[in-house]
Amino acid sequence: MDRGAFIPSDAAQRTSVAEILDRYATEVFPRLAVGGKNLRPNLARLKAELGALSLLALEPSHIAAYRDKVLSTGLNPQTVRHDLGLLSRTLKTATLDWGIHLPRGLPTALVRLPKMPNSRDRRLMSAEKRRKGEEERLMEAATAYGGEIADIIAFALETAMRRSEIVSMRWEHVNLKTRTVLLPTTKTGEPRRVPLSRRALRILAARPRGIGPVWTMRPGVSQAFERVCRKAGIKGLRFHDLRHEATSRLFEKGLNTMEAAAVTGHKTLVMLKRYTHLRAEDLAEKLG
């Protein structure tokens, strides 16, 4: 104390994990994409298991035990990583912005993240000798299904946009002259401008132009997609796999890594790689 090196830790002792999580939700969530709505379940799990502990008492062993417990319930490793990331950001904010000193540093820094499972590599299968390819069958079934689902599927394959990004599109953000669509709110929290291929442009140009949402089929896209897949006799395909397919096609068209990332919005090469699945047979053709 005489040297001025003593930093009191009474604030960490008085403050619980639940209190800083609530404060983070109140002060930081509103600045995030969709007001942090997607993080509410993560926050609830953390509060239920760790909320009663004080910040001073919180140790890496508590966090590791939480990790193992929620993994044992069948929670996806990626979701558990999001939980630990949320806790780490909250503790860092408490230290840097709220003046709560953690004498032993960030306990999350000493906890191993769960190993990620192998990424899905589901792509649309090509045509066989006597059978149409999955894309053709999918589009035929979607057209027969009616409504907007056929255009939405085709648009997803052209743009690599997420389902939530497609259904939230608004006409005031679409510029047909520059062939771009602005996404002011994305999963990463940063706006993104997506270039439109000629096919994507034709899909939008054929729709009735107005003010407000581009698509009227906002809810129920995933359910309609499942029905279309059943009608087409396609198994194991999810709507999100269209983003994997579209991302892989960007590289097959010759785009480099930075160009593809600008289209898809991936912030790291690791995540972009998880969405890219190039067919070995196509690469063999290029090798000559």
User: What pLDDT score does 7 carry?
Assistant: 54
Does 173 participate in catalysis according to the annotation? no
SS3 239: coil
Other Cβ atoms less than 10 A from the Cβ of 136: the count is: 14
pLDDT bucket at 15, cuts 50 / 70 / 90? very high
Mean of pLDDT values over 54-67: 96
Give residue 120's identity as a one-letter amino acid code: R
Rounded CA separation 245/276 (Å) = 8
Residue 276: is its pLDDT beyond 80?
no
Does 243 participate in catalysis according to the annotation? yes
Mean of pLDDT values over 48-65: 96
Q: DSSP characters for 49-95?
A: HHTTSBTTT--HHHHHHHHHHHHHTT--HHHHHHHHHHHHHHHHHHH
Average pLDDT, the chain: 88
Task: Count CA atoms within 13 Å of residue 62 on its CB side.
Answer: 19
Helices (H), the chain: 10-14, 17-27, 40-50, 60-72, 77-96, 134-145, 149-159, 163-167, 198-205, 221-232, 241-252, 257-264, 269-274, 280-287
- CATH code for the domain defined by 10-110: 1.10.150.130
Does 101 participate in catalysis according to the annotation? no
Sign of the Cα torsion 171, 175, 176, 177 reads: positive
Q: Catalytic one among 192, 244, 266, 274?
A: 266
pTM of the predicted protein model: 0.67
Does 267 participate in catalysis according to the annotation? no
Q: Catalytic one among 192, 243, 249, 274?
A: 243
Q: Which of 83-92, 141-150, 213-222 has the lowest mean pLDDT?
A: 213-222
Superfamily of domain 134-287 in the CATH hierarchy: Intergrase catalytic core (1.10.443.10)
Exposed e or buried b per residue across 190-204, where buried means at least 16 C-beta atoms within 10 angstroms of its C-beta: eebebebbeebbebb
Q: Catalytic one among 132, 187, 193, 227?
A: 187
User: What pLDDT score does 32 carry?
Assistant: 80
Does 240 participate in catalysis according to the annotation? yes
User: What pLDDT score does 253 carry?
Assistant: 86
Q: Which of 217-221, 240-244, 245-249 has the lowest mean pLDDT?
A: 217-221
Structure tokens that stand for 96 in this block: 């840097």
Rounded CA separation 6/36 (Å) = 37
Does 162 participate in catalysis according to the annotation? yes
Other Cβ atoms less than 10 A from the Cβ of 86: the count is: 20
Q: Catalytic one among 162, 192, 249, 274?
A: 162
Task: Count CA atoms within 13 Å of residue 273 on its CB side.
Answer: 4
Rounded CA separation 83/44 (Å) = 10
Domain extent listing, the chain: 10-110, 134-287
Q: DSSP characters for 32-50?
A: SGGGGGGGHHHHHHHHHHH
Which residue did the predictor score with more confidence, 29 or 120? 29
pLDDT bucket at 167, cuts 50 / 70 / 90? very high
Share of the chain above pLDDT 90, in %: 62
